[in-house]
A and B are shown apart, each in its own frame.
Chain A
């Protein structure tokens, strides 16, 4: 995020685009409702009537998959009505003329059908955003989980740049990062093209720096992104195949798209290592399982969504019968056994090594985190006076070589898999507020499991339910070209009739059986938010309920769970 979470409530206008704070980050949603209380105006762009849409001044309930058409149209209106910050554009950016030319054909009337939004509303939204003086964009998976995603992000950035909404308090553009430490894993260079601190692997000076620090030659070939792994296991030529996979703290057999293909690739691997805290669906394919310590059992640092480094501390010991080690200790031992010795006393030693290799993190010491609790990078100086940076791009400085912002002009592309007669509905995934991700942790939390449990729900418009003859709570079968799953019907007027929605953490209601691995060519993120499906009524509900219970029992047995489980020792 270019600006901090604490700045959200000071914005005069929030453009919430494809982001559902209420289910993804209740504590960020808190800032959005407080912004409204403080007099901010809210524009919410989402195909569902999400909580933010309810309190918004303008809800653009767009058709799934029309993001860039809408974004280009907003740019069209802002330019046409002369609402641009011409000084900022002239002095701090380039590429504006190409954008201006491209968006000429994106008038609100031209995109009304594609987006299903009335042209007057598009105009109103554009005017509000451009004239508030302090507009902030918040976006999430509703932007990123499409085959055309990176260009939508750039399109949103266009809006911020052309109206001067960068480099000050309460403005900017923020992907509100979902997981507790996804920002951190990126910061630490768990990326195929980047060392820690976003230093690219192909740049010779960077490579030389790390070769010197680590004392060993390094590769400058960009690595394979996670979502390409099934292809590299199954379809690449022999000399390019991936044969071994070391998975730690992730569950691809639950969370990746097109689960049939994922399972096939996990079966075909020569060697799969799974390092985790609980049995997961992926661990069932593992050749080796390495048990690690979990949250609360070890020290370290997380980076929250707005670049804030914060400490995690050991709260309790692992169970006395658990022969577990911390993740970094396990990896260090394996590295040493492979001929590259790694030995650290504690996490602080590791942290001190890495922050000295990353100019943007150098000042964020453990001492500073003790004192200030949260240190937002960039934090360049170890001096205690440098407390970190709340917002980026101050005085219009951007991370491009010439320091200026760059406009991006790209046409809208429709989603990959269109609805057809066999699969007439749009299928999209979303989040469940009371569970987290693949449920390795929350599935084992008593209260959270009692609030929501298998097989989950599918949100369907009441008119659709009526057509299919299904009612609330009834088990239904959901099918796509790739697979099927069973879940419960939830009629709600908050979704349009053309689309249905499921959360992604269930095993019986496993919606990733349906999703398509169509990737954005730059980010390689799959198009979870759009594929074609149909919903079928299950006539024999008695059989269906029995099926759900039996499947659940089978899964728990496969996980090695005691059938009378639920009691602590």
Chain B
């Protein structure tokens, strides 16, 4: 398959540069980052925009990609055990419901994310905190 080109917004600083990624869809690999025209960057990028994309293939230089849901089944300090999504989702749901029932919705705190997750994910998280749990305890690192 020929090389695909996809334009997106950089995920590092707040400048919001436009980047064009060249992708090999067969190998599912990014080949190159090329500066694209954006209102703020006008066809330029900094070192993070040019060279900050190769982490996505999990090179394990510093940390490891999280690939499976995990639960510390033996309690605090026990090792993490890989589980299915259903098990993870149900476990989180039941623990949070338990704590909400016993101590009230304000005993639970949620964070938003100022990084790669995007606006829609943040909207859903604050809706979850407010509508599902019933608390306004939601905040993110803008504060820090």
Contacts and interface: CB of A to CB of B under 8 A. Distances in A.
Task: Classify A-B as touching or not with yes or no (CB < 8 A).
Answer: yes
Interface string A339-367: 11010100100110110000000000000
Interface string B8-46: 111111111110010100001110000001111100111
A492 interface: no
A436 B108 CA distance: 29
Contacts of B76: 267, 287
Contacts of A219: 105-106, 130, 134-136
Contacts of B37: 373
A189 B127 CA distance: 9
Contacts of B137: 192, 223-224, 242
A560 B108 CA distance: 29
B46 to A, nearest CB: 4
B46 A433 contact: yes
Contact of B62 (A5, A27, A351, A449): A449
Contact of A334 (B44, B60, B89): B89
A279 B7 CA distance: 28
Contacts of B1: none
Interface in A175-226: 176-193, 195-196, 201, 210, 214, 216-219, 221-226
A244 interface: yes
Contacts of A344: 124
Main secondary structure of the interface of B (DSSP, over half): mixed
A24 B127 CA distance: 31
Contacts of B41: 27
Interface in B73-113: 76, 80, 85, 88-97, 99, 103-113
A225 B116 contact: no
A566 B124 contact: no
A334 B122 contact: no
A249 to B, nearest CB: 3
A256 B103 CA distance: 26
A308 B39 contact: yes
Contacts of A96: none
A353 B120 CA distance: 10
Contacts of A323: 67-69, 85
B98 to A, nearest CB: 9
Nearest to A330: B89
A104 interface: no
B66 A289 contact: yes
A250 B111 contact: yes
Nearest to B97: A338
A327 interface: yes
Contacts of B128: 331, 334-335, 340, 342
Contacts, number: 494
Given A27-B17, A316-B23, A441-B55, A523 B117 contact: no
Contacts of A418: none
B18 A373 contact: yes
Interface residues of B, number: 106
Nearest to B139: A226
A334 B58 contact: no
A565 interface: yes
Interface size class of A (residues with CB under 8 A): 35 or more
Interface in A286-310: 286-292, 294-306, 308-310
Contacts of B138: 189-192, 223
Contacts of B66: 276-279, 283, 289, 291-292, 324
A543 interface: no
A180 B11 contact: yes
B139 A225 contact: yes
B132 A242 contact: no
A247 B56 contact: no
Given A308-B39, A321-B67, A218 B130 contact: yes
Nearest to A290: B69
A444 B61 contact: yes
B5 to A, nearest CB: 9
B47 A448 contact: yes
A454 to B, nearest CB: 9
Contacts of A315: 6, 8, 21, 23, 30
Nearest to A183: B14
Identify the interface centre among A217, A328, A344: most chain B CB within 10 Å of its CB: A328
A394 interface: no
B59 A444 contact: yes
A569 to B, nearest CB: 8
A463 interface: no
B9 A310 contact: yes
A229 B135 CA distance: 14
B47 A434 contact: yes
Interface in A401-437: 433-437
Nearest to B121: A327
Contacts of A435: 48
A331 B121 contact: yes
Given A224-B137, A224-B139, 14 more contacts: A4-B40, A27-B40, A179-B141, A190-B139, A249-B111, A287-B76, A288-B70, A290-B88, A291-B69, A294-B56, A347-B120, A433-B47, A442-B48, A562-B60
Give me the 9 closest cross-chain CB pairs, A-B, nearest first: A190-B112, A304-B16, A249-B113, A300-B118, A565-B60, A223-B136, A305-B14, A295-B116, A443-B62
20 contacts: A4-B39, A26-B15, A28-B40, A182-B114, A191-B140, A191-B142, A243-B108, A245-B108, A248-B111, A248-B117, A250-B114, A300-B119, A300-B121, A316-B29, A322-B67, A327-B118, A444-B62, A445-B55, A561-B60, A567-B59
